[in-house]
Chain A
Amino acid sequence: MLDVQSLRKEFGDLVAVKDISFQLAPGDVFGFIGPNGAGKTTTIKMLATLLEPTSGTATLNGIDIVKYPEEVRPLLGYMPDFFGLYEGITVREYLEFFAAAYRIPKSQREQIIDNVLMLTDLTVKKDAYVETLSRGMQQRLCLAKSLVHDPLLLLLDEPASGLDPRARIEIKELIRELGAMGKIVLVSSHILPELADFCNKIGIIEKGELLVWGAVDEIVKQLQANRLIAIRPLDEPEKIIQRLERESLVHGVEVRNGSVVVHFAGGLEEQAELLSALVRDGYRLASFHEEALDLEDVFMQITKGEVS
């Protein structure tokens, strides 16, 4: 369990992170969203025990990360947005180096490294020199290194930055798998579609302030006061618009890309009745469906595009 309480970081007069709090349980994949300069990396570095918070704290499995960084470190895996690798050694030697540095007994190392290589799909590259790997492979190796000591919490800062589309998809799959393995995964990104697929929780940070956090569905529900129903009529949209505006539960109608988008205050029952009424009145409809808010809509509604 990761419990972040009023974490704050100041650099002189600049408040990089303003008293943020959130809690994550094993299996949670938390998307940490915010524009560049919002305070994502500073927060992650504090959680990684690399940066001392100005105030506030966080506990991982009950261990205070501020007071006992050395005790927490074996429980966390960290992958920064910009990282380097020790050159001149093979992939396997690189992982052996970190296995030794994490005090994994020699007798268990080979098996653990084999498992990690398999998980990150690097088995075929185990004898390649690290500097000969592509950027995507190096990201995987960095992730493999972060997994060697089987951490509970994984802090991944922009893990897909600079990757080609295929490598992005592969990293996403891997993160999803890690969540399924019961790890707490905190992934930061400013590219929303990247996170939408595999995060069950999100937090949106702007100017160092955590504006909202929680389960993706709940946040969407909170923000979506009205349902959005997209109707695609086969005839002129003006007629159906006039008809829809007479409905008491319709709070607004607009035309978007040839579809009539209705801001509807009713529930599913009322939605079904509206559809029946339109069909009964003779309107020919090619489609009628509810439009859900996606992460981009949520982000745009909550943030103002400011940096700290």
Chain B
Amino acid sequence: MRDENPLIWYHLISSTRHRFTRLRVVYYAIGVVLLLVYLTTLLGIVNLRLGITETLFLILLVVCLITPLFSYNLFSSEYEKATWEFLALTRLTAKEILLGKWGVGVVRLAALLTVLFPLGLISSAQMPASHAFMMHLFLGMLCIGCWGVLILSVGLWVSLRWRNTVLSASILYALQVLVLLLFPSLVSILTYEPGMENLFWVMLQGGFPDFASRALFWLTSLVNGQCFIWLNPFYTLGELGAMFGRSDEIAEGLIAVGWGWVQSGFYLLLAAGFLWLTYNGVKKHWRK
């Protein structure tokens, strides 16, 4: 009985069914267009012999564009449609409300990643046998998935905090532009020194005999601002290519510092932080 969460049922099935029923022709048309785009991309990957890294970039771009749509209105629509008071007065706890809404986003994200996964699989099949393509694909998809979960959690919090759907969507996209493009560019410009070797690769060449040296690697990135670049999922995916595609000191260094795993963990940690903020917001404002 306690496991029943009507919010998941409503958001996942009813509202979707309703939209489909009302705009059947539009949805069929969108479906056909998306299918054609998908098949064209699939053919493009085969014909252009795109590698895993490039395909993962493509998948990440799609996730960055689509995932905000899964969470930008989960709370703001409750305020805009004046339904939040009804929900607050029910016996659903703050945790159930939060999990109901967040869970819907996670299910949608999982569905999106499942649809996109074959693209990565096709590109993996074209890699040389020496390349650990399955591990590369898995770690890449994990990184993308965790980034998606972070966007969902931020979206949930933003939509509760600002209570406005348009503003929430704008903030989510603006934040991504800031974090994925502007901050890394700014850090690159500010830390650029002509004639200097790539700082990242220099740091990786030192060797990492113990846990302390690995921790120091990541802590240093906080001090010199490199974290803004290293935690960027596009950069992470790019260096995953180096990690699985080479067999030198840099690749060994990347494996040693847990490249890809650390970023994924960090995204999840940050996502948990935003979930906690949202939970507290619901508890405080809805007196749950």
Which of A's residues lie within 8 Å of B, judged by CB?
48-50, 52, 69-70, 73-74, 76, 78, 80, 82-89, 93, 96-98, 100-103, 105-106, 129, 145
Contact = CB atoms under 8 A, between A and B. Distances in A.
B89 A73 contact: yes
Which of A80, A89, A100, A145 is packed against the most chain B CB atoms within 10 Å?
A: A100
5 contacts: A50-B85, A73-B89, A78-B89, A83-B86, A88-B14
A76 B9 CA distance: 25
Chain B facing A: main interface SS:
helix
A88 B82 contact: no
Nearest to A85: B83
A88 B83 CA distance: 14
B10 A98 contact: no
Given A86-B10, A88-B14, A48 B87 contact: no
Interface string B77-102: 00011110111111110000000000
Nearest to B7: A101
Contacts of B92: 101
B287 A87 contact: no
A89 B81 contact: no
B220 interface: no
Interface residues of B, number: 25
B87 A101 contact: yes
Nearest to B79: A84
B6 interface: yes
A103 B1 contact: yes
Contacts of B1: 103, 105-106
B288 interface: yes
Contacts of A80: 82, 85
Contacts of A49: 89, 287
Given A50-B287, A83-B83, A103-B91, 13 more contacts: A48-B89, A74-B91, A76-B89, A78-B85, A78-B86, A83-B85, A84-B82, A86-B14, A87-B15, A88-B15, A97-B10, A101-B92, A145-B86
Contacts of A98: 6, 86, 90
Interface in B1-23: 1-2, 4, 6, 9-10, 14-15, 17-19
Contacts of A74: 91
A3 to B, nearest CB: 20
A88 B90 contact: no
A81 B91 CA distance: 22
Interface in B243-288: 287-288
Kindly list the 4 A-B residue pairs having the minimum CB-CB distance in the complex, ordered from nearest.
Answer: A88-B18, A84-B81, A101-B90, A100-B6
Contacts of B82: 80, 82-84
A176 B7 CA distance: 33
B280 to A, nearest CB: 16
Contacts of B86: 78, 83, 98, 145
B19 A88 contact: yes
A111 B255 CA distance: 62
A88 B17 contact: yes
Contacts of A102: 90-91
A138 to B, nearest CB: 12
Interface in B109-161: none
Given A50-B89, A83-B82, A98-B90, A89 B14 contact: yes
Contact of B90 (A69, A73, A105): A73
Given A86-B10, A87-B15, A88-B17, A52 B89 contact: no
A96 B4 CA distance: 12
Contact of A129 (B18, B19, B85, B288): B18
A212 to B, nearest CB: 29
A86 B80 CA distance: 11
Given A50-B85, A103-B1, A69 B287 contact: yes
A73 B17 contact: no
Nearest to A66: B287
A74 B92 CA distance: 11
Nearest to B16: A88
Contacts of B14: 86, 88-89, 93
Nearest to A131: B18
A86 B85 CA distance: 12
Most chain B C-beta atoms within 10 Å of own C-beta, residue among A76, A88, A129:
A88
Contacts of A50: 85, 88-89, 287
Contacts of A78: 85-86, 89
Contact of B91 (A48, A52, A93, A101): A101
Contacts of A106: 1
A88 B18 CA distance: 4
Contacts of A85: 81, 83
Interface in B47-91: 80-83, 85-91
Give the most central of B18, B83, B87, B90: most A CB within 10 Å: B90
B4 A100 contact: yes
Nearest to A73: B89
Nearest to A145: B86
A84 B79 CA distance: 9
A16 B287 CA distance: 20
